[in-house]
């Protein structure tokens, strides 16, 4: 049985100019101890879908789903009190900007011990011991001293380690890392990614990595979910995705990587991600897709089969060529 199962999740925001659909029918499945990446550009709904799971969205958001299940709990039905017992204990999350996600008014130690205080019956000295142990686990030197430091006294890499220590405090079954290394330098990024994957193997927790960096995806995860404009457009094993992407968006995105370029001029994707008012009627990628035809503009596609990476496309690509066009034309 999978640890996390989300079916047909949608999130609508009430804005001054009407409803805005940030997440549009997304499915996410995570097994125990699995490493999944969710990739997409800004506005693809990758963070919002995970925030919806955590119950961290503001009141303007309406969350609907056919299924939202974590470890046997139906997260749609439980009360706030019950939810808080799971969040921070069995599911925890790391955010993009360590500097602004930590509370500047409290010491690192206080913030790490807070979740221990809420979720366990540990005594004060046990909490201290656990906090020191966590700091060592994430590779912070001189942990006793650093526990008394305030966030502004730590560098970006150190703050991110402290955030990870906090998220790991209660040995979560699922850790969601939302762009954990985007604000960091490559050398520090390498350290943090190694730490995260190491911990995932050691503790057997599942890890969902939200990112926009294809390099990070290629080097760290097993399964990749590609999102575009709030929809899941493809789900594949990492090797298959890079070798033979089935959705035109994935293919175009990979082609736009400078390191994959063959010529001096890079292949581009024309246009921009659709916003609130120019959401296409049919396939959301159709205005930017080089394979799009009349059917793509008029009709919403349905996901293809497993062997085609569940590509949300009328004509999924195989080796860069669209399939099934003859029958439709």
Partner 1 sequence: MSDPILIATDLKRHYEVKGGFMKPNAIVRALDGASFSLTPGKTLAVVGESGSGKSTLARVVTMIEPPTEGQLVIGGREIGPDGAAGDRKLRSMVQIVFQDPYGSLNPRQTIGQTLMEPLLLNRPDIKADERTRRAREMLTMVGLRPEHFDRYPHMFSGGQRQRVAVARALMLEPKILVLDEPVSALDLSIQSQVLNLLMDLQERLDLAYLFISHDLSVVRHIADEVLVLYLGQPVEIGPKDVIFDQPRHPYTKALLSATPVADPAERKERIKLTGELPSPMNKPEGCSFNPRCWRRLEICTKVEPPLQGHGHCFACHNPVPDDEEVAA
Q: With CB under 8 A as the contact rule, which of the stretches 117-125, 172-180, 202-210, 238-246 interacts with partner 1?
A: 238-246
Whole-angstrom CA distances from 37 to 91, 178, 180, 221, 237 are 16, 10, 12, 6, 10
Q: With CB under 8 A as the contact rule, which of the stretches 30-38, 143-151, 246-254, 306-314 interacts with partner 1?
A: 246-254
User: CA-CA distance, 293 to 248, in Å (whole number)?
Assistant: 13
Q: Considering only residues 1, 16, 186, 329, which one is a binding residue for partner 1 as defined by CB under 8 A?
A: 186
The phi and psi torsions of 154 (rounded to 5 degrees) equal -105, 155
Q: Verify binding: residue 298, partner 1, rule CB under 8 A.
A: no
Q: Please report how close the Cβ of residue 259 comes to partner 1 at its closest, in angstroms.
A: 4
Using CB under 8 A as the binding criterion, the count of chain residues that bind partner 1 stands at: 45
Q: With CB under 8 A as the contact rule, which of the stretches 67-75, 107-115, 169-177, 263-271 interacts with partner 1?
A: 263-271
Furthest-apart CA atoms within the chain: distance in Å: 72
Report yes or no: 229 and 44 within 8 Å, Cβ to Cβ.
yes
Q: Verify binding: residue 262, partner 1, rule CB under 8 A.
A: no
Q: Verify binding: residue 37, partner 1, rule CB under 8 A.
A: no
The 191-220 site mask, x for binding partner 1 (CB under 8 A), equals: x-xx-----------------xxxxxxxxx
The phi and psi torsions of 236 (rounded to 5 degrees) equal -150, 165
Helix and strand tally (H, E) in the chain? 13, 13
Q: Verify binding: residue 287, partner 1, rule CB under 8 A.
A: no
Q: Verify binding: residue 136, partner 1, rule CB under 8 A.
A: no
Pairing of strands 61-64, 91-94: unpaired
Report yes or no: 196 and 207 within 8 Å, Cβ to Cβ.
yes
Q: Please report how close the Cβ of residue 185 comes to partner 1 at its closest, in angstroms.
A: 4
Strand partners, 303: 312
Q: Verify binding: residue 320, partner 1, rule CB under 8 A.
A: no
Whole-angstrom CA distances from 8 to 64, 68, 103, 250 are 8, 9, 34, 21
Q: Considering only residues 257, 282, 300, 318, which one is a binding residue for partner 1 as defined by CB under 8 A?
A: 257
Strand partners, 19: 14
Q: Considering only residues 190, 195, 297, 318, which one is a binding residue for partner 1 as defined by CB under 8 A?
A: 190
Whole-angstrom CA distances from 81 to 84, 85, 114, 151 are 5, 7, 17, 29
Q: Please report how close the Cβ of residue 97 comes to partner 1 at its closest, in angstroms.
A: 14
CA proximity to 26, closest of 5, 42, 43, 56: 5
Q: With CB under 8 A as the contact rule, which of the stretches 80-88, 156-164, 302-310, 315-323 interacts with partner 1?
A: 156-164
Q: Verify binding: residue 253, partner 1, rule CB under 8 A.
A: yes
Q: Please report how close the Cβ of residue 318 comes to partner 1 at its closest, in angstroms.
A: 19
Q: Please report how close the Cβ of residue 239 comes to partner 1 at its closest, in angstroms.
A: 5
User: CA-CA distance, 312 to 147, in Å (whole number)?
Assistant: 48
Q: Verify binding: residue 35, partner 1, rule CB under 8 A.
A: no
Nearer to partner 1, 218 or 297 (CB): 218
Q: Verify binding: residue 17, partner 1, rule CB under 8 A.
A: no
CA proximity to 313, closest of 327, 326, 291: 291
The phi and psi torsions of 264 (rounded to 5 degrees) equal -70, -40
Q: Verify binding: residue 25, partner 1, rule CB under 8 A.
A: no
Which residues contact partner 1 by CB under 8 A? 41-42, 155-158, 185-191, 193-194, 212-220, 238-239, 242-243, 252-254, 256-261, 264-269, 272-273
């Amino acid at each position: 049985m999978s640890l996390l199962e989300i079916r047909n999740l949608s999130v609508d925001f009430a804005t001054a100019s009407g409803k805005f659909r940030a997440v549009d029918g997304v499915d996410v499945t995570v097994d125990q101890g699995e490493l999944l990446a969710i990739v997409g550009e800004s506005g693809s709904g990758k963070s919002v879908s995970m925030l919806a799971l955590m119950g961290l969205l503001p009141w303007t958001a309406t969350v609907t789903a056919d299924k939202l299940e974590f470890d046997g709990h139906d997260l749609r039905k439980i009360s706030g009190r019950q939810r808080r017992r799971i969040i921070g204990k069995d599911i925890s999350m790391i955010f993009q900007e360590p500097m602004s996600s930590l509370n500047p008014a409290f010491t690192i130690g206080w913030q790490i011990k807070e979740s221990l205080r809420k979720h366990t019956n540990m005594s004060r000295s046990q909490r201290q011991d656990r906090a020191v142990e966590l700091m060592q686990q994430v590779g912070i030197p001189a942990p006793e001293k650093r526990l008394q430091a305030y966030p502004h006294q730590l560098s970006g890499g150190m703050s991110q380690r402290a955030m990870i220590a906090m998220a790991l405090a209660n040995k979560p079954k699922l850790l969601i890392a939302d762009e954990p290394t985007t604000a960091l330098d490559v050398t520090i990024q390498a350290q943090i990614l190694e730490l995260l994957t190491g911990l995932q193997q050691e503790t057997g927790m599942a890890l969902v990595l939200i990112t926009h960096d294809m390099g990070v995806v290629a080097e760290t995860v097993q399964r990749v979910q590609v999102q575009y404009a709030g929809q899941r457009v493809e789900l594949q094993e990492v090797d298959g995705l890079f070798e033979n992407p089935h959705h035109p968006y994935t293919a175009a995105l990979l082609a736009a990587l400078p390191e994959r370029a063959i010529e001096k001029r890079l292949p581009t994707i024309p246009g921009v991600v659709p916003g609130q008012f120019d959401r296409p009627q049919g396939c959301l990628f159709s205005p930017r897709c080089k394979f799009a035809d009349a059917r793509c503009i008029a009709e919403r596609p349905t996901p293809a089969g497993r062997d085609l990476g569940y590509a949300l496309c009328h004509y999924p690509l195989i080796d860069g060529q669209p399939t099934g066009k003859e029958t439709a034309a």
